[in-house]
Amino acid sequence: MGENIPIRHHYIPQFILRSFCNETGILNVYNPTTKEISYKKPENVFMVRNLYRDEINNPNNPVKIEKDFAIYESEIALTINKFLTTDIITLTVEEEESLRLFLAIMGFRSGRTGNLFGHNESEEFRDYYGVYQENGDLSDFWKRNLSYLVNCRSILDVIKHESIDEPIKKFMIRDTMGSTCNGMYIMIVERRGKEDFLISDCYPLVIEGHNEDGTIRLELYKVYPISPKRAIMLVANGVEQARLAASGFQKDFFREPKVSRDRKSLTIKVIKLYELDVKRFNQIAFENAAEGIVFQNIDLLEKYK
């Protein structure tokens, strides 16, 4: 009986979604396919039934991945709550490292990624990852690596983990250290005007640019809305050198956290974000959504339809 619970596996944590609820505790959800609006509880949004259920690697506890995510999420929720309630946030180095890894895992744990590994018909894709999965079951490959990642708390844990496959280590290094491995840092931004952040199944929002000769696409930063008012930005070191047309911001917008003298903690100051920038991020989230878009203020919907 117990092994069948939980069956709703959320790829965007409920503790984030709750910040987008309306005054009645319900989410306003727009379906980009049907063009309809529905009203749902957070537990019924951005989830796939039995998404992480793993009877191959954990036959005696097939919902272990989801349960392990619940533990990790409970830890990260404490950090996110600081971002929601204060303007100057101090994190220990361990908290910051754990958060960066958690944010990196967000893309890998998504329903889209699970579907990519489970139903990809590309021979090249299957040949590449099949080297790491003898039976060719890439859904098992995805879940197996996810089960290891969710119990790591820093990129160093991932690198040292002997059972995590090399391609996944490379993904996590890229998503915590940047495309050029020069490092990434966390910014907290708050909308300046009345334009709220929305949240969709396109999470995070990835903003890319090119190198000087235009041959390589580089991730400049990622945006993770955590409430209608605030979002986390995970920024690649050196992005302030990118052209305005690529980054969307003047150089002095980007500010790294201040590291303490003993290098055991860092301080992040909330940065104001102009309404046009919030609209730009919202447009990306809206245009790339497949499952749904959540608006706290449903009147904003008409701006993006």
pLDDT at position 30 is 95
pLDDT at position 295 is 92
pLDDT at position 48 is 85
pLDDT at position 49 is 84
Flag whether pLDDT at 10 surpasses 90: no
- Rg over CA atoms, the chain: 19
Flag whether pLDDT at 90 surpasses 90: yes
pLDDT at position 269 is 98
Q: How far apart are CA 105 and CA 141, in angstroms?
A: 15
**Is residue 108 a contact partner of residue 168, using CB atoms and an 8 Å limit?**
yes
pLDDT digits (tens, 9 = 90+) for 170-224: 999 999 998 777 899 999 999 998 899 999 999 999 998 865 655 557 889 999 9
Query: In whole numbers, what is the pLDDT of the chain averaged over residues?
Result: 91
pLDDT at position 2 is 44
**Is residue 25 a contact partner of residue 288, using CB atoms and an 8 Å limit?**
no
Instruction: Give the type of residue at 173.
Output: I
Flag whether pLDDT at 303 surpasses 90: no
pLDDT at position 224 is 97
The β-bridge partners of 189 are 231, 271
Q: How far apart are CA 271 and CA 268, in angstroms?
A: 9
Q: Domain ranges for the chain, please list them.
A: 2-304
Q: How far apart are CA 58 and CA 38, in angstroms?
A: 36
- Candidates 294, 240, 292, 247; CA nearest to 111 is 292
pLDDT digits (tens, 9 = 90+) for 45-62: 998 888 899 999 999 999
- Annotate 89-158 with three-state secondary structure: EEEEHHHHHHHHHHHHHHHHCCHHHHHHHHHCCCHHHHHHHHCCCCCCCHHHHHHHHHHHHCCCCCHHHH
Region 107-113: what's the mean pLDDT? 90
Global pTM value: 0.92
Residue given tokens 């002997």 in the structure block: 162
- Encoding tokens for residue 12? 């965007």
